[in-house]
Structure 1
Amino acid sequence: MNTVWIVLPVLLVLMFQLGIELDRNAFAALFRRPAAIVAGLLGQLVALPLIAFGVGLLFRLPPVWFMGLMLIACCPGGSSSNVFSMLARGDVALSVTLTALSSLITLFTIPLVMGLVSRFVSVHAETPVDLPAGKLLLQNFVLLFLPMLGGALFGRLRPAAARRVHALLGRVSFPALLLLAALFFMQYARVIVENFAVLGLAAGVLILLAVGAGSLVSRGFRLGRAARRTIVIEVGMQNAAQAIAIAASPLVFNDGEMAVPAIVYALLMNVILLVYLKLLPKSSVGELPDRG
């Protein structure tokens, strides 16, 4: 069974759910708080891929896993990051804006970055890795942009119905992700278990460095506490469903093993960020988000 036929509807649902959250206020932060937006995008789209490249080299990952680690680093988190921002008493409006913007920008940056990575890997691999950039761009357009646009239009035209649908999707999306992770784990259990020491360590180091980078960037821009927490979460949380869809898609790489780093990252990401939430000062509970 090709897991991609399960991940595709999950990804569509997640992006539609994100689209429902978008309104004029979601993009108003572009003009009200440009520093926070720039800091978040720098962390997500620049710092994280560079860190992943360094981690891949440090651990001397085989080409297929090197590609997989870079792929998960290029796929920004979806609606889950908004939920974590809320739990962290962060800036949820900023989280929604960053998630939406990064999802749109990566329609184009993922083909660009992964094209460069595939050429780098091909120099060191026995079999060259080919990236059909046009097909990847088309797949991202269909699986990311169109459902986001559909969700946004639905939210605008039928706000009451959209709120009900969003609440329903909020209840089923996380169990759907867990089901996807379980099915993928069962399919590649042997590979994951036998190589978890290397992959787990590489993914764990990447997550910790991503969290650290988010904190440093936000502090460098002198943002408030709520905005800093949000950017830490946005940089650390990645969209495993999107990474699996690209890796396993017959249109793109058609390589399920390339998606293994994504599922390992997703498992560790939730654990590490839950610990992060647990370590936040208790005094912040119930505080309103600051304006950074």
Structure 2
Amino acid sequence: MNTVWIVLPILLVLMFQLGLELDRNSFAALLHRPKGVVAGLLGQLVALPLIAFGVGVLFRLEPVLFMGLMLVACSPGGSSSNVFTMLARGDVALSVTLTALSSLITLVTIPLLMEGVARFVALQSDTAIELPVGRLLLQNILLLLLPMLCGALFRSRFPARAQRLHTLLGRVAFPALMLLAALFFVQYARTILENLPALGSASLLLILAAMGAGRLLADGFGLDRTGRRTVVIEVGMQNAAQAIAVASSPLIFNNERMAIPAIVYALVMNVVLLLYLRVLQRGDRLRAGAGR
């Protein structure tokens, strides 16, 4: 069973759901919170790929897994970050803006960055991994841009229905992604378990370092508490479904082994972010108690 036929519908739903959140005011953060937007995009588009590159070299990942880890880092922010931002009492409008902008910008940056990574891998290991840039760009447009635009158009035409549909998809999307991870794990259990010590540690270090970089950027740009939390979550949560789709797609890499880092990352990411929420909630309770 090729899991790409499972991940593609999930990715389409996730991007359509993101489109349902977009309206004329969705990018107001560009004007009202420009520092938050710049901090978040720097974290996602610059800091995260650099951190992933260092982590991959540090753990001496084999070429295919190195490419898979870099693919995760080059992907846009995940739509689940909007939910986590809401639960963390962050700036949801900023979160939606960052997720949407990163999804648009990475249409161009993923092919460019991954082509550079493929060349690096070829030089270091004599392992040639072909990257069809044109087909990658086309697939990203079909799987990311078009469903997001359709979601935004649906919201503009049917706002009440869009709100109900967004709520429904929000309940379905995350379990579907976890189901994908479970199916992928069962199908490639032996390979995943063999590489779990390295990939689990690499994913954990990547997420923690990314969140740390997000916090440093947020502090450097002087963001308030809600802005800091939002940037930390946005930089720490990437669209693992897209990384899986690109790695396993017959049009691009057609290599499900390359998708394994994204599966491990998705599992570790959700555990870390849930723990982060617990820490924030405990801190909020302590502050509330001290303020009485």
For the superposition of Structure 1 and Structure 2, which TM-score range results when normalised by the shorter chain?
over 0.9
Report which stretch shifted further, 181-190 or 144-153: 181-190
Mapped to 1, the partners of 2:174 and 2:59 lie a distance apart of: 31
Q: Give SS of 1:44's match.
A: helix
- Normalised to the residue count of structure 1, the TM-score between the two structures is 0.96
The CA deviation at 1:271 is 0.6
1:184 and 2:184 aligned: yes
Matches within 5 A, 1:128-147: 128-147=128-147
- Asked whether the 8 Å contact 2:30–2:37 carries over to 1, the reply is yes
Q: Match for 2:74: what amino acid?
A: C
Q: Which amino acid aligns with 1:170?
A: G
Q: Deviations over 1:27-80 (max 9, x none)?
A: 111111111100000000000000000111111110001000000011122220
Structure 2: which 5+ residue stretches go unaligned? Answer: 288-292
Deviation at 1:281, TM superposition (A): 5.2
1:255 paired to 2:255: yes
Give the structure 1 partner of residue 70 of structure 2. 70
Q: Which runs of 4+ in 1 moved over 4 A?
A: none
After TM superposition, the structure 1 stretch with the greater mean CA deviation from structure 2, 115-124 or 131-140, is 115-124
Q: Which whole-Å CA distance do the structure 2 matches of 1:37 and 1:232 have between them?
A: 12
Aligned with 1:23: secondary structure? coil
Give the aligned residue type for 1:130: E
> How far 1:123 moved relative to its partner?
1.3
Q: CA offset at residue 283 of structure 1?
A: 5.5
Task: Give me the CA root mean square deviation.
Answer: 1.1
Residue 52 of structure 1 corresponds to which residue in structure 2? 52
- 1:85-122 Cα offsets, whole Å, 9 max, x none, are 01111111100000000000000000010010001101
Map 1:1-292; keep pairs closer than 5 Å.
Answer: 1-280=1-280, 282=282, 284=284
Aligned-partner Cα distance in 1 for 2:109–2:239: 15
> Does the 8 Å contact 2:88/2:281 carry over to 1?
no
SS of the residue corresponding to residue 105 of structure 1 reads helix
Task: Using the TM superposition, give the Cα deviation of residue 81 of structure 1 relative to its aligned residue in structure 2, in angstroms.
Answer: 0.1
Letter in 2 for 1:253: F
Residues 248 and 259 in structure 2, CA contact (< 8 A), matched pair in contact too: yes
Three-state SS of the structure 2 residue aligned to 1:27 is coil
Contact 2:63 2:127 in 1 (8 A): no
TM-score normalised over the length of structure 2 = 0.96
Secondary structure class of the residue paired with 1:146: helix
C-alpha displacement of 1:164: 1.3
Q: How far apart in 1 are the matches of 2:173 and 2:2?
A: 20
Q: Give the percent of matched residue pairs that are identical in Structure 1 and Structure 2.
A: 71
- The answer to whether the 8 A contact 1:89-1:284 is kept is no
Alpha-carbon shift at residue 269 of structure 1 (Å) = 0.5
Decide whether the 8 Å contact of 2:65 with 2:260 is kept in 1: yes
The code of the aligned residue for 1:88 comes to A
